[in-house]
Amino acid sequence: MKKINLAATLLLFVGSVSYAQSPKKPMAQLINDEFKFAASQYQVLAKNIPAGKTPQSFDKGKSVNYDIKWWCSGFYSGSLWYIYEQTKNEQVKNEAEAALKVLEPNQTFTGNHDLGFMMYCSFGNGYRITKNPAYKEIIQRSAQSLSTRFRPKIQVIQSWDKNKYWECPVIIDNMMNLEMLNWASDNGGNPKYKEIAVTHANTTIKNHFRPDFSSYHVVDYNPQTGDVLKKATWQGAANCSAWSRGQGWALYGYTMMYRFTKDQNYLKQAKGIANYILNHPNLPADKIPYWDFDAPLIPYAKRDASAGAIIASALLELGQYTDGKEKADFKSAAETMIYSLASDTYRAKAGENGGFLLMHSTGAFPLNSEIDVPLVYADYYYLEALARYKKWYL
């Protein structure tokens, strides 16, 4: 047993040295090359999508596609808009517009809290780039639909409907959907949308976080009194663990809330989460997290490229609201993540991986779901991180 562990340790050490010494492509060139690659690769992906569906993953040699009510349905079109913005490839634009058309019925969907993922990552990017007024109307209608899930007695947006496990569950992922509410209010919509976003963010700070700024995945509330029934996980390693993608959602969410409100409490929260992630002893040298910071069998646990992409994108924005060493540290960590994701370790080869860009994401390890596969939102936040770096740091 000692010989096996020693061999593994030596292998990890050699790998880390090789990583540190490998020459890096200039970031400007890397970003340009990655968007060109994405434009080509997504032509492969587009061929694997049945009519009326949206792509999710590629597993065991088969493409995985879901109905538009699936929470990830907006990431494909959102990725296409990022690619088009950087490449001006008209074929990509046409595919992005067609993908939006498929999603239009979601604007009145009230079945879960994920309208922000579904409709803002998609139509939000579409409107930002084209200023098509029809897209703005759809975003506003989607914000109205999302607002129906606000529970005044609890001061939160309910994530999932009541089921045999939960009474009124709220997940840390829900922070991401507040972006659409903020934007809608700031762009001619009902002011109550932003008020809901702020209220939800404040309640989440109060109940979702531990003193070290790590986050629970799920907080279950009594729908009548607002009392916390339990703090738990669904996709993490344990109720007491720090599920990696959840920490990414939290970091991104509070950084975004500071952007819209300039509330210093949100900036403090975002910095605390960032420092928790970046100083965690289980964060690997390449800064792409294991699927949970407390996962069993580290350093042999599965990675989650999607968590790395989300965290990188969030750190780049957080760097805009900091200065000095903090800004440099956040930028440096994001750079490491981007270089790692762009390497052969994580980025697929042309024509492979079902057309997706990144490999080695983990959806829900405890549920034996989407383990070590490409995931559409990993691509989305990777492309967003590349675009943000180009916009803010080049």
* 15 is a domain residue: no
Q: Which of 67, 114, 263, 372 is catalytic?
A: 114
Q: Tell me the residue type at 288.
A: I
pTM score, whole prediction:
0.94
Q: Which two tokens stand for residue 166?
A: 């939960």
Give me the residue label for tokens 């405890």. 366
* 189 is a domain residue: yes
Q: How far apart are CA 116 and CA 380, in angstroms?
A: 14
pLDDT at 23: 72
Q: How many residues does the chain have?
A: 394
* 58 is a domain residue: yes
Any catalytic annotation for residue 173?
yes
Give me the residue label for tokens 């492509």. 25
Q: Which two tokens stand for residue 279?
A: 């100083």
Q: What is the CATH number of the domain that holds 376?
A: 1.50.10.10
Between the alpha carbon of residue 81 and those of residues 51, 287, 301, 328, 368, the distances in Å are: 20, 27, 34, 29, 32
Task: Find the helix or strand (DSSP H, E) in which 232 lies.
Answer: strand 228-232
Query: Sign of torsion, CA 43 45 49 55?
Result: negative
Q: Tell me the residue type at 242.
A: A
Q: How far apart are CA 342 and CA 318, in angstroms?
A: 22
* 313 is a domain residue: yes
Q: How far apart are CA 199 and CA 146, in angstroms?
A: 14
Q: Are 141 and 107 in contact (CB under 8 A)?
A: yes
* 11 is a domain residue: no
Q: Are 299 and 284 in contact (CB under 8 A)?
A: yes
Q: Which of 33, 173, 227, 263 is catalytic?
A: 173
Is 249 annotated to bind a ligand? Reply is yes
pLDDT at 20: 40
* 6 is a domain residue: no
DSSP 117: I
* 283 is a domain residue: yes
Per-position pLDDT tens, the chain of length 394:
333 343 333 333 333 333 344 578 999 999 999 999 999 999 999 999 999 999 999 999 999 999 999 999 999 999 999 999 999 999 999 999 999 999 999 999 999 999 999 999 999 999 999 999 999 999 999 999 999 999 999 999 999 999 999 999 999 999 999 999 999 999 999 999 999 999 999 999 999 999 999 999 999 999 999 999 999 999 999 999 999 999 999 999 999 999 999 999 999 999 999 999 999 999 999 999 999 999 999 999 999 999 999 999 999 999 999 999 999 999 999 999 999 999 999 999 999 999 999 999 999 999 999 999 999 999 999 999 999 999 999 9
pLDDT at 17: 32
Residues linked to residue 230 through DSSP beta bridges, in sequence order: 220
pLDDT at 2: 36
User: Domain residues for 202?
Assistant: 27-393
Q: Which two tokens stand for residue 67?
A: 């109905």
3-class secondary-structure state, position 361: strand
Any catalytic annotation for residue 114?
yes
Q: How many domains does the chain have?
A: 1
Q: What is the DSSP string of 298-335?
A: TTSSPB-HHHHHHHHHHHHHHGGG--HHHHHHHHHHHH
Q: Closest Cα partner for 309 from 241, 370, 254, 389?
A: 389
* 188 is a domain residue: yes
Is 149 annotated to bind a ligand? Reply is no
Is 255 annotated to bind a ligand? Reply is no
**HSE-up of 365 (CA within 13 Å, CB side)?**
22
Q: Tell me the residue type at 12.
A: L
